[in-house]
Amino acid sequence: MRFDYIVVGAGSAGCIVATRLSEDPSIRVLLVEAGGSDRSPVIAMPAALPFTYQSRKLGWGYESGPEPHLGGRTIDEKRGRVVGGTSSINAMIFNRGNALDFDGWAEQGLTEWGYAQCLPYFRRMETFAEGADEWRGGEGPMFISRCRAAHKLYDTFLRGGEQAGFEVAPDHNGYRQEGLHIAQAFVHDGLRWSSARGYLHPAARRENLEVLTHARVDRVVIENGAAVGIEMRHKGERRTVACEREVILCAGAFNSPQLLMLSGVGNADDLRAHGIELKAHAPGVGRNLENHPGVNLQYATNYEDSLVSELNMLGQVRLAADWALRRKGLGTSNFFEAGAFLRTRPDVGFPNMQFEFLPLTRQLRNGRLVAIPGFQFWMDLSRPESRGAVTLRSADPSAAPSIVFNHLESRQDLQDLVDGVKMARDMIRQPAWDKFRGEELAPGADAGTDAELERFVRANLGTSFHPSGTCRMGVDDEAVVDGEGRVKAVRRMRVVDGSIMPRIVTANLSAAIMMMAEKITDRILGKPALPPSAAPYHRAVAAS
């Protein structure tokens, strides 16, 4: 088996890279995925999100930790092991990021990654349901719709935020991100619109594209400083596949650095300790790990005022039937239909806190996550200061990597989360909530002081499942890849996924990862970059 390009991982980025490369019929592409098919109603129905999250069949089952600043706790990290990757199991929330995120990348020396250079690729990848303009696309394979947000508590969330002094952004993926908003989602015609559905499925019959599922890549074969193929396990057998141009890792922020290290690319001392033959010393592999850590603020409300009242046994039957027969109704919702990007302090020039609102609340009872009458704010840090690492547990490719985020290592991260809880409480104290506000379930009335809120945050911190940065791109010696995703220490190998972000974006990661895949694939093919955009964007003023 010989191919021009081997793409490892059929996730948010891999589906795009393989599809775009195979548009040239002279290029032979192999896309290798450890998981299986995404053709399942559980994946297709947006409202089945809780089942995709909890499915052991669809995920890698990774945990981070023990986390040293959280009392040694471990945290579940949902990552898709299926065609479409995490875009087949995530909450489908479409947020691009703040323009200042990408300008920040450019300021680090990655001059082709400023907002003006990235916006044309965001536009190329999408078809926005409300039409194209200088910020939004109208002809791309990823269909983006604005959530219906029909339940009354979504509007209450917006009105409470306005009463607290915040603005509502007309399109938080357009001119201005900061403010409250009705969410946008990777949902089209009532279906989850993953990168597999948008890109890969329409290309699946191309003779020059082979998609191999249930195939675990054990290592990249490196000879004389260049990637020449992969070793993988498929149907119980070990196979070697040769590659004539490049091996492209799209395996994600956990598995891409793990694969590099298993292949002999990483910190020399660490690899030797595991008995792995050193191919290239690259100490930055696995470092700079980021995520969006956060907590839930939960309130009780009357049964009839919560979305739970529409999700009783009869409601669930109606939901399933309406979706199956008409692709309509609650089955088309991810339920995260309103949110906000806000600043908890005036000395930052970007929203440092993201809020996602649910018109119900969920609690763990007898080991199961159960919906109860209420509402909740999930809030996470958009740009935390703390950094972690992905390292090897052993040289066994079947062993999960060691993942430690070091959440709350930075004192500022803890203070920002405490201030985020206070901000959410202030919004819920507004008159708009008077008819609906019940008992505060979490943190609860007994958590009033900063010290009490800090204890709550440490005990309940989770993440938004947004790992990034472990193979970061940059111009410095510690960067793993350059601005085109090329691994600096090894020829003929690239990484294209969330691991190459030099700094995490102020958003859910899927949209930015897809943009990066579109942009880098142009470079692989030798195409000229799309012309920079002149679209203006909002710049917040940070107080000194």
* Catalytic positions, written as ranges: 466
For residues 470 and 290, is the Cβ–Cβ distance under 8 A? no
The closest alpha carbon to 510, from 178, 30, 187, 35, belongs to 187
Q: Which amino acid is at 137?
A: G
Name the nearest CA neighbour of 387 among 255, 256, 284.
Answer: 284
Residue 467 burial (CB count, 10 A): 28
CA distances from 225 to 67, 250, 301, 346, 493 (A): 36, 20, 62, 49, 10
**CA atoms of 38 and 281, how far apart (whole Å):** 37
| 373 vs 388: CA distance, rounded Å | 37
Contact call for residues 360 and 306 (beta carbons, < 8 A): yes
- Read off the DSSP letter of residue 49: H
Encoded tokens for 127: 């078809």
| Interatomic CA distance for residues 187 and 135, integer angstroms | 19
Cis peptide before 443 (omega within 30 of 0): yes
Structure tokens of 64?
Answer: 């981070």
Q: How many CB atoms lie within 10 A of CB 134?
A: 12
288: closest CA among 404, 177, 196? Answer: 404
Integer Cα distance of 67 and 184 in angstroms: 33
Task: End-to-end CA distance of the chain: give it in Å, rounded.
Answer: 60
Q: Produce one character per residue of 291-325: b if its CB has 16 or more CB atoms within 10 Å, e if not.
A: bbbbbbbbbbbeeebbbbebbeeeeeebbbebbee
Say if CB 69 and CB 407 are below 8 A apart: yes
Q: CA-to-CA distance for 364 and 369, rounded, in angstroms?
A: 4
Instruction: Show Cβ contacts of residue 477 under 8 Å, excluding neighbours closer than 6 positions.
Output: none
> 150 Cβ partners below 8 Å, 6+ apart?
none
Structural contact between residues 344 and 540, judged by C-beta atoms closer than 8 angstroms:
no
H helix runs in 205-362, sequence order:
252-262, 268-273, 313-326
